[in-house]
Structure 1
Amino acid sequence: MKPGTFLKSTALLDGTFFERSVIFIVEYNDKGAMGFVINNPFPRKLNELEEFKHIIPFPLYLGGPVDQEHLYFVHRRPDLIEGGTPVDAGILLGGDFKAAVKHIDEHTLTGNDIRIFIGYCGWDDGELDAEIAEGSWEVLEGGMLL
């Protein structure tokens, strides 16, 4: 497995937070793995959060059950957002969030360029591999996040 991999939950995860989830893995190393559920829209928009009430409406996604007090994002615009960590195929994790919000509000960034998540999915070393081995996750070939 490597960053940039997509996982789809199987029936073994039905009835859990991960039922019918597709996960985009952004980190995978000897400490574990981190990813985001990419197909679970959050019921509120970015501008409905107090800190961002003065910007245009922009979709949020419920990225996972861990740390739902913070926003995370992936994008494909390093020309507009500095400081991101490369994930795979032109996708970067994080960077200058203030710049991202400014470009969203100016319509320079669209939903095709950036996806913002509340929370994330995290696994300790070996944990995700064990879940894949037991059949909880199907590794998808290819896939397109943005």
Structure 2
Amino acid sequence: MDSLKDHFLIAMPSLDDTFFERSVIYICEHDQKGAMGLMVNRPIGVEVEDLLEQMELYLSPEFVFSLDSQVLIGGPVAPERGFVLHTPQQHWVNSTEISEDIMLTSSRDILASIGSDKSPENFVVALGYSGWSKDQLEQEIADNTWLTIKATPELLFNVEPEQMWLMATQQLGFDIWQMSSQVGHA
């Protein structure tokens, strides 16, 4: 299977009543060792501004968020660890380029920049991550647990988390509710 890095995993309706129900996960890494991604559509009920205050990082008084910036649940693994997906900037040495449009940072310095003139134009803050061991994600896809689409910055940064699953499923080009969760065998 080709790498799903810089793709979205879209939870099938069959994941009802699970941690990943109606989730959209942005895949940050995917190679022969496994995969790592961030769920990007499940707010934890804390605003980014409040998280920054808890960390004793304060916004410039003139800074106003363009979106309702909420901290998201990135996944069940290491929920105390923070991750920021953001638009590219040259001066972040601890950032990993995932695509020409998206970078991943887990260091505190990017959070300190939010609300200043060094802030990335767009960002998503998540706590925890979703991880798969070798061949686990491939098996889950074969089992019809996930659908995949190429990620876009528009969907990642410009859609409210609560609308993301529906918007992502619409990009598939068919009604996801018409799909069966049964795997067909010839």
Tell me what 1:17 maps to: 19
Work out whether residues 84 and 125 of structure 2, in 8 Å CA contact, stay in contact via their aligned partners in 1: yes
Supply the RMSD in Å over aligned alpha carbons. Answer: 2.2
One of 102, 114, 119 as aligned partner of 1:109:
119
User: 1:103: Cα distance to partner?
Assistant: 2.6
Q: Secondary structure at the match of 2:114?
A: helix
C-alpha distance after superposition, 1:34-74 (max 9, x if no partner)? 00111112201234342146347852111111110111111
Q: Secondary structure at the match of 1:88?
A: coil
**TM-score calculated relative to the size of structure 1:** 0.85
Work out whether residues 95 and 105 of structure 2, in 8 Å CA contact, stay in contact via their aligned partners in 1: yes
Point out the structure with the larger helix share: 2
Match for 2:58: what amino acid? H
Q: Secondary structure at the match of 1:128?
A: helix
User: 1:21: Cα distance to partner?
Assistant: 0.6
What are the ranges of 5 or more consecutive residues in structure 1 without an aligned counterpart?
Answer: none
CA distance in 2, matches of 1:95, 1:118: 10
Q: Secondary structure at the match of 1:101?
A: helix
**TM-score calculated relative to the size of structure 2:** 0.68
- Structure 1 window deviating more from structure 2 (57-66 vs 8-17): it is 57-66
Match for 1:12: what amino acid? S
* Count of residues in correspondence between the two structures: 144
Work out whether residues 6 and 151 of structure 2, in 8 Å CA contact, stay in contact via their aligned partners in 1: no
- Structure 1 window deviating more from structure 2 (118-127 vs 89-98): it is 89-98
One of 99, 113, 123 as aligned partner of 1:88:
99
Say if 2:82 is the partner of 1:78: no
Q: Percent identity?
A: 29
